[in-house]
Structure 1
Amino acid sequence: MTQVVFYILPQSLDNEPEDVSAHFIQACAIAAFYYGQSNKVFIFTDNQQDAFSVDEYLWQFDGDSFVPHNLLGEGPRYGTPVEISWQPPTHPRQILINLSSNVPKFAINFQQIIDFVPASETLKIAARTRYSTYKKMGLTLSTHAVTNDNAVESTKKAED
């Protein structure tokens, strides 16, 4: 059964770059966590520009723990451990990190879906709609509040 975890984000995360959304930063931390557990991750965005932003942020992410990643269609034949795209995946993966404003039609193909409730009221409304859609799909749902103190550690705690 597919499990969905919604990360409820605080107003802002410490050390957040101005040009990167908090949920993009958290998505990169979660991708790094799952990569460290030998899982294949697919990060889905609304558009090409968002995919490029996530790709760029992953290149600048924690220098001590490089996360092999690429945009869909680049790199090795079956992709790197973390793929990013605004288009459906072409190969099976365990984890979907949804940065899209909608529930992807292919979401049911993943063992686990990570989604976000950003602090912005407009984005919260979209998150509530996605939550409702996942629920109607019969998926197992849970939430996890992220604080400035536990932004990176929150993934480990949500796994427990």
Structure 2
Amino acid sequence: MTSKADFYVLPSTDPDARGRFLCRLVEKIRALGHEIFIQTRDESEAQRIDQLLWEYRPESFIPHSLLSESDNAGVKIGWDAERPAHQDVYVNLDLEIPDDALKFDRILEIVVQSEDILTATRSNYKLYQTNSVQIDMHDMRKKS
């Protein structure tokens, strides 16, 4: 059962802001020694995230691969019901959160100011509450 869910609320309305923030977040979490699974909506988005991680900061290297590729990368990207062997960190870039994601130790949601993403993450928030998951909000919007 998930012990913690973190919501990172970005000020941007641009869905690509999620990908840029994801790269920074993944780099930090990997530096702490965690394994990460990134769930995307579909194969096309998985390939886009794969490319973003390759292009992220020239001085940085984040070993990653698509879940369908058989290697030992610490970051795996998937788009269907297949999951990695570990249950460490689950990054949800899909709209809905599947029930089996609650088996991961930690879930991360990256929120931009887009109606479909806001609606979906509100629904996911309620699911976490219902399942007694500790929720931490990280509001990255500027305070007025």
TM-score by length of 1: 0.80
SS of the residue 1:101 aligns to = coil
Aligned to 2:7: 6
Structure 1 counterpart of 2:18: 23
Amino acid at match of 1:111: D
Q: 2:114 aligned with 1:120, yes or no?
A: yes
**Residues 1-160 of structure 1: pairs in structure 2 closer than 5 A:** 2-11=3-12, 21-76=16-71, 79-87=72-80, 88-147=82-141
Using the TM superposition, give the Cα deviation of residue 117 of structure 1 relative to its aligned residue in structure 2, in angstroms.
2.1
**Structure 1 CA distance for aligned equivalents of residues 87 and 104 of structure 2:** 7
For the residues of structure 2 that align with 1:127 and 1:109, how far apart are their CA atoms?
18
Amino acid at match of 1:6: F
Q: Any conservation in 2 of the 1:7–1:117 contact (CA below 8 Å)?
A: yes
SS of 1:119 mapped into structure 2? coil
Deviations 1:11-31 (A, max 9, x none): 268xxxxxx611122122111
- Return 5+ residue gaps in structure 2 as ranges: none
Deviation >4 Å, runs of 4+: none
Deviation readout 1:45-65 (Å, 9 max, x if unpaired): 111111111001001001111
Q: Is contact 1:43-1:97 (8 Å) kept?
A: yes
What is the CA distance between 1:121 and its match in structure 2? 2.4
Contact 1:6 1:115 in 2 (8 A): yes
For 1:5, the aligned partner's letter is: D
Please provide the CA RMSD for this pair. 1.8
Q: Is residue 117–residue 127 contact of structure 1 (8 Å, CA) maintained in 2?
A: yes
TM-score, normalised to structure 2, is 0.89
